[in-house]
Amino acid sequence: MSATARLPRKRFYRARAHSNPLSDSHFPVPICPSDVDFASHYPQFSGNPMVRFADVGCGFGGLLVALSPLFPDTLIIGMELRDKVTEYVKDRIHGLRPTNPGHYNNISVVRTNSMKYIPNYFHKAQLSKMFFLFPDPHFKEKNHRRRVISPHLLDEYAYVMQLGGILYTVTDVDELGDWMKSCLQNHPLFEPVGEDEITTDPVVKLLTSATEEGQKVARNGGQTFMAIYRRVASKED
């Protein structure tokens, strides 16, 4: 048994194995937010563009495409783990831009694992909205720690969100809905958004209608469970 096995050399953007054990792909991870070339994602925006909305687990890009015209001056990024799906979203956006001049320049996608690398992409208090649409339920109790909304991970999401920023979650699995709501309710840096505000927020109806997953649930007549919370300041002194 050799004790001096060679280790691969690392590039500046390290290539790491996919966290999903079923797949062997690699993707580059930025060392820190300043290293991310967001300008190349949004070529029509000059200066130092700051992303404000993040769609965590954006899937095939339904929400991104629906949000884009509602917030034309806001930069929105989708984050997706699966490489083929990310390529799809890229191709979709690159197909939409030339056929709709002046539109869809404010959305883009990166392939990454949001559960590990959110602080690598965003500065403190950068985001004003975060979306978690139909996340993987991970039913078995031993897999609960793989859920994208959890008490520990909410610390990181709170860190990248502005005070007053809003975090949206929706699922068709009622147990997961209870879980997410309970994690958010128990977290000291999040407070529920009031009903009246929810009814006037133009984004809310997109949660269930904009994505393929949401449309499928509606077709099957399923119920959806939302938990919408605002990032607030810590209560300590």
Q: Which stretch binds other proteins (CB under 8 A): 90-98, 117-125, 166-174, 196-204?
A: 117-125
Give the pairing of strands 75-80 and 51-56. parallel
Closest CA to 191 of 162, 221, 228, 149: 228
* Position 94 contacts other proteins (CB under 8 A): no
Q: Of 15, 19, 43, 205, which one interacts with other proteins (CB under 8 A)?
A: 19
* Residue 217: CB minimum distance to other proteins, A: 28
| Rounded Cα gap, residues 25 and 223, in angstroms | 35
80 is in an annotated binding site: yes
Burial of 148 (0-12, 13-18, 19+ CB in 10 A): middle
Query: What are the structure tokens assigned to 130, written together?
Result: 């975060």
The single-letter code of the amino acid at 28 is: P
* Position 70 contacts other proteins (CB under 8 A): no
69, 106 Cβ separation under 8 angstroms: no
The set of catalytic residues is 136
DSSP state of 146: G
96 is in an annotated binding site: no
211 is in an annotated binding site: yes
Binding site for other proteins (CB under 8 A): 1, 3-4, 6-7, 10, 12, 14, 16-17, 19, 21, 31-33, 115-116, 119-120, 124, 151-156, 158-159, 187-189, 234, 236
Binding residues: 57, 80-81, 113-114, 133, 211-213
